[in-house]
Structure 1
């Protein structure tokens, strides 16, 4: 009798598991159709009409799921807000994602229209177009959806909506209040966000913030990230003759701005990539406990070097995760005169370097920019914020125009935060594997205003595949990650806090 009872339980478990699998596949299939429809709406943050069309689509989709929705006006493009009816006895999660996407150059994509999603398989390193009809009978989770914002960041929005569908089908009493804020200018630094958070402070009030943006760790394991670096920029322009001059007539005589700029930039770092500007790394201390967490991240540094095709990494940190704990100083672009087939035998009139500085919580972006400008002055340059006048050019040997970009702050939540512990334990229980915990990621998500104003901890729980080509041509989302994202949202919203 006992044996029959055990077999019956096993049979029930198998049937339930099969039903769950079928239900998930059905939801994933629905998610694909919904994502195709969403991606079809262009979402370039530089085009206000694009954003308006996306807001209308989102309002309809969230309203269908029982959310109350609002379009929050800002000093530029509006934000999208949604919330389920509130219960004061429950803690509140605020989810942040963004609806805008990078601009596209259709000529660089391997499909006619980046906003018309294409389904592809990969065999032997070659991508092959597949028919969406082939997903009706079964779903190949290794196939991918190619289109702008499939991964960054429309995919996670669709995963969230479809997780809500499953929670409703299963009659789950969600143990949280849910609020969602969708940014419409994330891809252009979210300039209106700080003032908007202050304006809508009461509406956004929550216990903790979960950001669903960016890829999971390259290992593919579930990932929780406790912070992200901030960013600011500088544009530096040096000057030679007022107009380009014949290099035969004036080479060896007219000052060359390209060499001036190269010499000046070379003084900022040593040969192993460490910034030489005094005070640049001040305040950063990595104790043994922090180092242990950093080393627990399963990075394969040989694979990173092979994929990026360089022999030796810079020495700001002794390994990849350690390097991310320090502010960076990066030349993101340089130009002077003409190059390639357009190269001319001239002494250029100007040379320009575009710098970006990735920030950590210990570093203030405005302070670092001041340190750089002081260093430039110490190298003998007269600094101006505009194109120099004739009088200035005749008075100073070395002139540089410095243009400063805005500062987006870094953030970092304590690794022992109880809400972080909840996220990690829930993911480990659901996914049955160890969660990769990253202290701070290299990229920037502009959500510091939420932390500064709402005074709440924040965590990044990424959903998409690490090789998704975000911001680039042929951006894609692996179907397996759609299922993963739905499972993650479902698990988080069906599990009570300890």
Structure 2
């Protein structure tokens, strides 16, 4: 026991000496990471465009092969996955890392730069972002500056941090105490529909002792963060119908039913004034005991600061505080449309009104069951529910008609907070950064990890690396340079610190 403790202390001390926040070696590797990320971001990666994905896979294969990885392109029912592994040693435990290299589509007109796929370096001067020359990084690295471009933070940045950590480990002659496998997703931003079947197909190749996901931001406090689960997701699209074509509101405004009012009344019936879903059975199975409440309250959130940052007066009362609210499935309006608005508004009775809903899931809730509850609730209010555009006969026969289109289900997952691999990750990060680690039971977002957990029967942990204000999925996505240093340090510690 004493020997193992001394060994662990030695490893942590070595990491700290080699990769102190201001060390020359770390800053040099950060600079190399920025250059490599610049090249990677330059490759468009919209998952809706298969050619984009092919180009990124070629880049990845070259980069991982150059670091001594054996690589494979794993074909799926959709776009291929990318797999890489270092030579295996059966005596060592195996870490499987999951990241993704696809990105959200871009609307360049909404960005503060001409081309979101051309990395730009920015400094903040009196609250305004100002473009800087990359040559400025040759003399010193300012950790407060940021890199702007699509997928800098979600999720190309962490991939390049990983690659550069491998370079440092080799340069320092470190013998890894783990086997290392990497699986990179090409359709994460569009729900990773082929992933469950692919994990079954390639089960033997993906076998590992535990899974580490490097996606998403660290906690708003900036402290090292470990997340033990994430919510799943499914979607519903609801369309209400009025006249077959838009009609003049003066002629038919008091006569033809308005689908906007029909739909808005239906939506208002889904929740009470406190924001809680009142569809019977929606929250069934959720039990938060005293130990769970203690874990949730240990997260250093400040609900007042969250409200101030998001600029609203009062939070919904699904949970008593932010972390508690994430333990329940949600029912969210993500888009709502009918007729025309703004300068294009017209004096018409619209022909239809559509709402797009997302339902975030927790392990206790089944996505297909929740969708059925919603549809049953709609029927109970007198609606005729169809999954196709209604015919003339259906429109004339039924007073209230709604078309429902269902999306696929990505399941939630959650690992027990007492898991020994989780304890190892937490202790390693705590010792490396000399800070208490924020431990989050389940995060609000969705990463398609349940297929790995269910098929491989292994625990999974999110170790996020990027800044919380990174604008992921939005215009002006960015990565704080200091988070590159953090990511390299975190990867270095996780890859080089043996299990106690």
TM-score, with length taken from structure 1: 0.96
Q: Aligned pair 1:224/2:245, yes or no?
A: no
The match for 2:464 among 454, 462, 465 is 462
Task: Give the aligned partner of residue 7 of structure 1.
Answer: none
Give the distance between the partners of 1:296 and 1:388, measured in 2 at CA: 51
Task: Give the aligned partner of residue 434 of structure 1.
Answer: 436
> CA 1:295 to 1:270, structure 2 compared with 1: closer, same or farther past 3 Å?
same
Q: How many Å apart are 1:61 and its aligned residue? A: 0.7
Give the distance between the partners of 1:58 and 1:292, measured in 2 at CA: 42
Q: How many Å apart are 1:434 and its aligned residue? A: 0.4
The total of aligned residue pairs comes to 487
- SS of residue in 2 equivalent to 1:29: helix
Task: Give the aligned partner of residue 295 of structure 2.
Answer: 293
Give the distance between the partners of 2:456 and 2:389, measured in 1 at CA: 41
Q: Residues 15 and 492 of structure 2 are in contact (CA less than 8 Å); yes or no, is this contact kept in structure 1? A: no
Q: Aligned pair 1:198/2:162, yes or no?
A: no
Task: Give the aligned partner of residue 3 of structure 1.
Answer: none
| 1:12-411 aligned within 5 A | 21-411=23-413
- SS of residue in 1 equivalent to 2:90: coil
Q: How large is the Cα RMSD of the aligned pairs? A: 1.6
Give the distance between the partners of 1:354 and 1:369, measured in 2 at CA: 13
Q: How many Å apart are 1:431 and its aligned residue? A: 0.4
Q: How many Å apart are 1:13 and its aligned residue? A: 13
Give the distance between the partners of 1:18 and 1:43, measured in 2 at CA: 34
> CA 1:18 to 1:362, structure 2 compared with 1: closer, same or farther past 3 Å?
closer
- SS of residue in 1 equivalent to 2:118: coil
Give the distance between the partners of 1:100 and 1:453, measured in 2 at CA: 24
State the Cα deviation string for residues 81-135 of structure 1 (Å, max 9, x = none).
0000100000000000001111111111111211111111002101111111111
- SS of residue in 2 equivalent to 1:224: strand
> CA 1:173 to 1:280, structure 2 compared with 1: closer, same or farther past 3 Å?
same
User: Where has structure 1 moved over 3 Å in runs of 4 or more?
Assistant: 12-20
Q: How many Å apart are 1:22 and its aligned residue? A: 1.1
Task: Give the aligned partner of residue 6 of structure 2.
Answer: none
Q: Which runs of 5+ in 1 are unaligned?
A: 1-11
State the Cα deviation string for residues 157-196 of structure 1 (Å, max 9, x = none).
0110111111111111100000000001111111111111
Q: Which runs of 5+ in 2 are unaligned?
A: 1-13
Q: Residues 19 and 489 of structure 2 are in contact (CA less than 8 Å); yes or no, is this contact kept in structure 1? A: no
- SS of residue in 2 equivalent to 1:433: coil
Q: How many Å apart are 1:15 and its aligned residue? A: 9.2
Give the distance between the partners of 2:345 and 2:55, measured in 1 at CA: 44
Give the distance between the partners of 2:18 and 2:239, measured in 1 at CA: 66
TM-score, with length taken from structure 2: 0.96
- SS of residue in 2 equivalent to 1:50: helix
State the Cα deviation string for residues 402-432 of structure 1 (Å, max 9, x = none).
1100000000000111111000000000000
Q: How many Å apart are 1:333 and its aligned residue? A: 1.1
Task: Give the aligned partner of residue 4 of structure 2.
Answer: none
